[in-house]
Structure 1
Amino acid sequence: MSETFVVVGAGLAAAKAVEELRASGFEGEVVVYGAEHHLPYERPPLSKGYLLGNDELESVFVHDPDWYDENDVDLRLGQEVTAIDTAAHLVRTRDGQQAYARLLLATGSSPRHLPIADESGAPVAYLRTIEDSQRLKEAFTDGARVVVVGGGWIGLETAAAAREAGASVTVLESLDLPLLRVLGPEVAQVFADLHTEHGVDLRTGVEVSGVEKSPSTGSGQAAAVVRLGDGSSVEADLVVVGIGVAPNVELAEAAGLATDNGILVDERLASSDPDVFAAGDVANAQHPVLGRRIRVEHWDTAIEQGKAAAHGMLGHDPSYDRLPYFFTDQYDLGMEYVGSVGPEGYDEVVLRGDTSAAGGRTFTAFWLSGGRVVAAMHANDWDATDHLHAIVGTRADPERLGDASTSLEDLAKG
């Protein structure tokens, strides 16, 4: 009797896992449960190309519908798994149950909510799903007033899309700079300047103390007043909240799996139950290169962990050691980042190139800790990525890193 592998969650990690299972020769039954009614899709276009109107909706889907039929994948969309019984090897839905030999949890994450906004009755939006992106695209019109709460990646990408559509945009960030915790002040300032130069009203070090519904002066539809801790306020036709996400661990916790800021998994992406694996946003994985646990909420990790989890489910002995990678596109700045600074922080940042708008913002940044490069990024230098992958994790002389006459290729060679 053939084995049945079940995947809970129908996002990018799930799609890549089942693709890898079939590519690796697994001939058993594959069942995928997805709470949404859409085919598995990628999320980056929702805040980038699709939101900007540059990409068609079809471009977000990982596979076309025929692929699942051709590869004998039982895709059960619009079906939410309500419980997992690890002892009986069952997943339960409102309509029944399904046995499994191996289980992959790819349940992703959900936006953190701002209750004072949600309860206000004012127009408030989040960005996670196709429907969310479609709503924002319709709202981002010439002259619309948009307030973005949160200066992280989603907040800034949303702000850029709104500005490019001609909307008036205010970004409210509680820290002194957007992306400060991720990039540190040296590089975060680049993104602050980028947005202010494109007309964003960037307000940092502010606290949102209240959100109220108010009549619109134009369309007659409801608008919002966002009140700040210093007594000032900002009016908006739409408030977009981008204050981070939380991993969807409820099923795992109820099933008795070990969790802590995600589902705890080992280097093979196996959970505290050896027949249950996790991948993508929800997986808090032990990383053999970084020497610590890390949970990554980015596109590349969903792809590669999905593949690695498939091999773990097949009984192979992979060690997921790929360094974290992410990218962003905002206005005329495209960036790729490799590595992870981690909770210990960094000693210094080395910049090479020109961070100014006049110089085209073509530069490279390296974050060092104890003489070792723990992270690196480029802006507008698409030939740099492979070299950055090779440099991260090595020990390097800061002066040599910052010397533009030394090529990235030479630095990658050591």
Structure 2
Amino acid sequence: MAGLVVIGAGQAALQLAMSLRAAGDSREITLIGDEPYAPYSRPPLSKSFLKGDTQVDDLFFRPPGWFSDNGVALHTGQRASAIDPARRIVRLPDRDLPYDTLVLATGARPRSLADLPATLGNVATLRGIDDIRNLLDLLPSCERVAVIGGGFIGLEFAAVMRGTGRSVTLVEAAPRLMGRAVSPGLSDWFAALHRRNGVDLRLATGVTGVERQGDRVAALALSDGTRLATDLVLVGVGVLPNDDLARAAGLPCDNGIVVTETLRTAEPRIFAIGDCAAFPLRDGRRVRLESVQNAVDQAKHLARVLQGDTAPYAATPWFWSDQYEVKLQIAGLLPAGADAAIIADTTGFSLDHVVGGLLACRESVNDPRAHLQARKTVGRPAISPVGTT
């Protein structure tokens, strides 16, 4: 019996296996991961792990024995090279693996910059365990850090580096920080936070040239006309969905693997979940979300679909980022042209975005109670959080 095969061994893949087993599903389950690690948590890598507060063993979701105890075959360090939907097989380096149902949980990979390839000795990305190990090897000899990209990863890394006393310059091509994720007012608030903590922010600025010294970057030429000397360059300019296998197999892709409201691809026996999946919202938009919440909730929903549920996926998305002593939490998706109102309490504040009288999104800064409430009320008539003024 071929059973269920999942290409990918991250949080979405593990959650799918756990949800099926918790529901009493006894089908064969095989997880195929290209990293040499069991499923592990990525968010701590740019936060507590980078600070030294978390060790590698703390990252793994389940002990090694969990997989055999629960009848889940885990194959790490193996990269699938092709999918044959007609024959229902996945091509691995040493064999063809048959499937009854295939799930693509292939995640995403960091975008690269042509002038700053990872082959240069002091250019790094931050996505997986090997990336962070590379960074930890580089950091002892680094005092001047250049961060390219003002999204969550770049800002979290900058905050940790400032906490160690290193000089940090962050270069962002867009005119504001976290432009795809937060409102302009909150971008300004975080820009002020980072400047107060000593980060040299260069907004609306690009990299126009690279000065090399051997196999390392010695300095960057910036579009503002300055030369930025550096010991380390962290490239954090977003990610790309790992949809190459799907494309080669003839599955429709559009900024991710296109799936229906039940997370099914154009092939009835193939599904996609997590960072690689482009799924429809209730308003007709198609999105691809890069978050732990989305990976976990889609995996739970797919487990129900595989047991016969036909309900559409409709979980409220939420995100978070830790920068210095500030926790940013977002519930819902930031709408265009929404009304906004600040809601403040004694420890933090929230910013509500309302469309047609309904709460579309809430951005919270050190305001966990308001955030948790919003995760239950996004899409409903907007009201002030309990206990706020």
| Fold match (TM-score > 0.5) | yes
Distance 1:143 1:280 in 2: 35
Q: How far did residue 22 of structure 1 move?
A: 1.1
Deviation string 1:275-310 (CA, Å, 9 cap, x unpaired) is 11111000111123x442221001111111112122
Percent of residue pairs identical: 38
Distance 2:103 2:297 in 1: 14
Pair 1:169 & 2:168 matched: yes
Please show how residues 94-243 of structure 1 align to structure 2 within 5 Å.
Answer: 94-118=93-117, 121=120, 123-141=122-140, 144-214=143-213, 222-243=216-237
* CA separation of 1:109 and 1:143: change in aligned 2, threshold 3 A: closer
Say which is worse superposed, 364-373 or 253-262, in terms of deviation: 364-373
Deviation string 1:374-408 (CA, Å, 9 cap, x unpaired) is 11021112222331123321243xxxx6xxxxx51
Pair 1:247 & 2:241 matched: yes
Deviation string 1:72-95 (CA, Å, 9 cap, x unpaired) is 111111111111111111111121
Pair 1:409 & 2:371 matched: no
Distance 1:45 1:317 in 2: 35
* CA separation of 1:185 and 1:225: change in aligned 2, threshold 3 A: same
SS of the residue 2:337 aligns to: coil
SS of the residue 1:158 aligns to: helix
* CA separation of 1:309 and 1:120: change in aligned 2, threshold 3 A: closer
Alignment-derived partner of residue 261 in structure 2? 267
Give, as a single letter, the amino acid of the residue that structure 2 aligns with 1:82. S
Structure 2, unaligned runs of 5 or more:
none
Alignment-derived partner of residue 306 in structure 2? 313
> 2:147·2:235 contact (CA, 8 Å) conserved in 1?
yes
* CA separation of 1:119 and 1:165: change in aligned 2, threshold 3 A: closer
Pair 1:349 & 2:340 matched: yes
TM-score, scaled to structure 1: 0.89
Distance 2:370 2:355 in 1: 21
Distance 1:393 1:294 in 2: 17
> 2:321·2:328 contact (CA, 8 Å) conserved in 1?
yes
Give, as a single letter, the amino acid of the residue that structure 1 aligns with 2:386. E
Q: Structure 2 residue aligned with 1:286, among 280, 285, 301?
A: 280
Deviation string 1:167-197 (CA, Å, 9 cap, x unpaired) is 1110001122211332121111111011111
Alignment-derived partner of residue 302 in structure 1? 295
Pair 1:382 & 2:363 matched: no
> 1:35·1:77 contact (CA, 8 Å) conserved in 2?
yes
Instruction: Report how many aligned residue pairs link the two structures.
Output: 388
Alignment-derived partner of residue 404 in structure 1? none
> 1:258·1:264 contact (CA, 8 Å) conserved in 2?
yes
Alignment-derived partner of residue 62 in structure 2? 63
Q: How far did residue 373 of structure 1 move?
A: 2.2
Please show how residues 320-339 of structure 1 align to structure 2 within 5 Å.
Answer: 320-339=313-332
Say which is worse superposed, 263-272 or 130-139, in terms of deviation: 130-139
Structure 1, unaligned runs of 5 or more:
216-220, 402-406
Q: How far did residue 319 of structure 1 move?
A: 2.2
Give, as a single letter, the amino acid of the residue that structure 1 aligns with 2:349. F
Distance 1:203 1:298 in 2: 27
> 1:125·1:240 contact (CA, 8 Å) conserved in 2?
yes
> 1:280·1:302 contact (CA, 8 Å) conserved in 2?
yes
TM-score, scaled to structure 2: 0.94
Taking only aligned residues, the RMSD between alpha carbons, in angstroms, comes to 2.1
Alignment-derived partner of residue 218 in structure 1? none
